[in-house]
Amino acid sequence: MRLLSFVIFFGGLLTAQTQTKKTILVMTDGLRWQEVFQGVDPALLNKEAGKVKNMEAMRKAYWRETAEQRRAALLPFLWSEMAAKGQIYGNREAGSEASVTNRRNFSYPGYNETLTGFADDRIDSNDKKYNPNVTVLEWLHNKPAYRGKVAAFGAWDAFPWIINGPRAGFPVNAGYDAMEMTPTTAAMELLNRLKAESPRDPEGEPIDALTFHTAFEYLKTRKPSVLFLSLGETDEWAHAGKYEEYIRAANRVDLYLKTLWEQAQSMPEYRGVTSLVVTVDHGRGRAPVDWKSHGEKLDETKYIWMAFMGPDTKALGERKNVGPVTQSQVAATVAALLGEDYAGAVSKAGKPIADVVGK
């Protein structure tokens, strides 16, 4: 007890000891908690509501009798690794609620809340305006220990504004923009060419593969301490009402998580000292129609999910009958895993999720 009060009293001055030295934060835009915890939705796995064309292949790949089997088929890494060795929040049917607090339930407010730790009423559109707030990425980068060791990659070309790249001073690569590195690599040059030569519509985003492999090549060669990656296809295909592509995109995100994790465990700089955090910017509505959209008018689209794994996170698995967690807690949790007290420095920010950082 005396030690505990000492820690609380000096909590603002001391840096907590954690084993995490590297953090990878991955977001996939608007992937519903329903698919994460229940797998493919039978109300959408059809021609009428989900425009599914390859029914046989989709059923073979993703349909199973129980929700547990379906979710494991859809997101095998998330369920066999992250949920087994870490923690996952947001299964509303099991008494775990994760939600955004910004009330907007769309992307820019959600990324702002995730990355700064607080909702901001000024952020009321997805317009490309520089974020007046400092993200936890920039806050870390401003510390000598993280200078030159933070990088962000997003499929959505608004990220240089959301993260305020010019002010933040670390790479924020987004949309179809080439990733300039000195020295560069043959793989990065090829990725830059594929982006330049891709068909595009002005409002659209590159396929996740281009964004993922850009971030992955950077991770392998530059070994950042903090890597942020945001993928977009889960939101794009859902807005288009194409459930088959939405599901395939979610399955690819799972493959990317596995690829990142296995790569990290193969590198001495990352092995055993890396924490992986995965979440979304907002939820979506229900089948058969509302699943395509999200926003203020669909209150239930405030519900999200989040998963954590790493040396400082107890293997408590799928959280059931626990207190609610919010998107505003992610920033301070990411920092706390690294032993940094973001919540102490930024009073508006949500507190770290105690169970995630309390090993």
The footprint of Zn ion (CB under 5 A) covers 235
Q: Is-contact 310 276, C-beta < 8 A?
A: yes
User: Rounded CA gap, 347 and 212, in Å?
Assistant: 33
Token digits of residue 293: 């959209």
Q: Shortest approach of Zn ion to residue 286 CB, angstroms?
A: 16
Q: Give residue for tokens 């909702």.
A: 119
Q: Shortest approach of Zn ion to residue 185 CB, angstroms?
A: 33
**Residue whose CB is nearest to Zn ion in the complex, by number:** 235
Q: Shortest approach of Zn ion to residue 264 CB, angstroms?
A: 29
Closer by beta carbon to Zn ion, 126 or else 259:
126
Closer by beta carbon to Zn ion, 69 or else 293:
293
Q: Shortest approach of Zn ion to residue 252 CB, angstroms?
A: 18
Closer by beta carbon to Zn ion, 212 or else 237:
237
**192-to-90, 165, 213 alpha-carbon distances in Å:** 37, 19, 11
Which one, of 337, 208, 214, lies nearest residue 275 by Cα? 337
Q: Shortest approach of Zn ion to residue 107 CB, angstroms?
A: 6
Closer by beta carbon to Zn ion, 226 or else 280:
280
User: Rounded CA gap, 20 and 272, in Å?
Assistant: 8
Closer by beta carbon to Zn ion, 235 or else 340:
235
Q: Give residue for tokens 């089948």.
A: 287
Collapsed DSSP state (helix, strand, coil) of residue 225: coil
Closer by beta carbon to Zn ion, 235 or else 312:
235
Which one, of 278, 238, 235, lies nearest residue 256 by Cα? 278
Q: Are strands 226-231 and 317-318 parallel, antiparallel or unpaired?
A: unpaired
Q: Shortest approach of Zn ion to residue 284 CB, angstroms?
A: 8
